[in-house]
Structure 1
C-alpha cells in the first residue's frame, strides 16, 4: 500500500503527464555521486542498508544487537559477547569479497540503473574488473532477488501468459530467397495466421529443442498503475498441467484472471472469473479484456535477451526472468530506492547457495522448473 500511495503522489505532482524516468525526482542518485564518495562513505552506505542504525550491529554468529568493538583499519567488528569477528558482508552473498565497497556500489548502481539489464562483459569493461568477477557478481544479485521473492498468493486482477525464450535458430550459410507469393502471404496473413515458414535445418531444430523454454508470468494488476507484482516460473511447455499448478499455488480463488485463448487455461473458469482475449485476432477486446501486462513483461525480457545478453542458458533462464520481474515491479522507484532495495535484499539473503565457489566447480545443476509430476 505504501508503494501505491507513493506512485499516486508522484502522479499528482506531475500534471503535465511527463514520463517518470524523465522527471527530476527519479534522479536522486547518480554515478557521479557514487564516484565522489570515499571508501568510508561507501562502507557507511552498506552498513546503513544492513542494520539501519549507525552505532549498533547484529553479530551474525550469536545474533546479539550491540555497539560492538570496531576495527577501523579493516572495517570489521569484534563481538562483545562471543568474540567473533565480522564485517558488514559476513554471511551474505558478498562475503569474502576482494572488491572495495566503493567499486561494489558502482557495480550495483550500473546493475540497477540499466532498464533492460547489463551484460557481465559490459560491466567488466566499465569498472575494470575481470569478466569472471562481473559474471558472478551479477548472478549473486539475481540470486538475492530470487530468494527474496514474496510467495503470497496473487489476488484481484491477474494477467497470466507464457512466452518462448532461448533456442534462437542461427542462419545457415546460404540465404533463403523467398518467393514473391510467400512474401505476399506473410504481409497479408501475418506470421501466426497461416503464412508459410521457411524450412529449418536439423542442427537448428536440435539446438532449439535443447535450449528452448517457456517462461510463465503472473502479474497482479491495479487499474491506473499497471502491474504491481510479478512472479515468473520456468516450464518446458505452456500446457494444462503447468496452468493448473499456477492456479492452485499462486492465485487466490475468486480472482479475476485474464489469459489468451490457449487451451491450457480452459480449467480456470472452475477457480476464477476467467476472461480471455483471442490474440490471433486482437490485442484487446471491445470490452477492454486483455493480458497486456503479461505481454509488457515479455517485451522487457525479450529486449534483454536479444539486445543485452544475446543468449540465456536454460539452466539460468529463471534467474534472468526474476531479474526482469524485479525491474518491472521497481520501475516507479527512484534510482536510490532501487539501489537500496537490491542492496537490502542482498545483505539479508545469507551466504550464496549457487555462486559461492562457482569458478572452482560448485555449479548449480537444476533449472528450477515448475515441479510437474
Structure 2
C-alpha cells in the first residue's frame, strides 16, 4: 500500500469517528441537560435569558419536583400528581388528589412542551412558567403549604443550601431561586419524538399504517383547527359542549366574562394515549368515549365553540370507522422515548 492510499484511509477513519461522536452527542444522554428545540417545532416563548439550564440547576429542580417535603404534611410532591409514566399526568384520579385525600375539581394536566406556552392551568390563571408551581404548593386541596414555610424548610434542611449553592452560587434559598430550579427541570420536559414526529421529519420508524394515515387525514379535516400541529393545541380557550350549563366557570373565573363560562384551555393531544382520564374534570376514561362525545354528545350551550356548531349540527359527525382511524392516528402521538427518559425520573 502506497503512502497516498494510507493517508486516504486514515482520513476516512477520522471522518467516521467524528461522525459517530457527533451522532452520540446529538442523542439525549442520561446526564444531558442541554435544551434543544425540536426541528419541527417553533422557537419557544420562554427565553432562558435569566435562567439558562445547567446540570446543577436541572438536578436541583428534579429533586424539588419529587420532594414530598414541600407539602404541609410531607405526603404529596409535584410528582405525585404529575407521574412520569403518564407523560406527567395522573392516571390514579379523575381530578387532583392532595393532602388528607382531598380531591380538587379539575383533572391534572400533563407536563411537557411548557416553554411554548405563555399561560398555564385549565383557565389560564398563571401567565409565567416560573411561578406555575405556586398554585399546587399553596392550594389547600393539593400541597396546602405556604411559600414562606416552604422556603424556611429548604433553608433549614441538611442538603438544600449546598445544592442551591452549586446551582446558583448562594446557599440562601429564596422563592425565586426555587422556582427557577423547578423551571429548569420542567423546561426540559420536551416531547417531540413520537411516531408522528418521525413521520413528519421523514425518519426511520415514521411510516404510517393505512389506518394511521387515514386517521391523520381525518384529523386534519375535523380536528386540526383547535388541535394545531405541531403542539396539537392552539392554546385557546373553548367550550366543547360538555354540559348545557357549566358548574365550573372555567376561563370566566379569570376574565369575569360570562361569555367565557365553561371555556377551558384546548389540551395538547400529544401522549393522549397515556394521559387518561380526559376533559377538564376527567369525566371520560377512553378515547372512544371522547370521540363519541364529539359525534353525538355535544350540548348546544350558549358558549359552544363555533367549530362545533356548523350547518345547524352540533358536534363533529364521525362514523365508527372514522373514529377507529382517528384513534389509530392519535396513538402515533405517544412519545415512548420521553415517557421512559431516565433524566426525568425520580432519582
Query: Would you say same fold, with TM above 0.5?
Result: no
Instruction: Choose between structure 1 and 2: higher strand proportion.
Output: 1
- What TM-score do you get using the length of structure 2 for normalisation? 0.28
- What TM-score do you get using the length of structure 1 for normalisation? 0.26
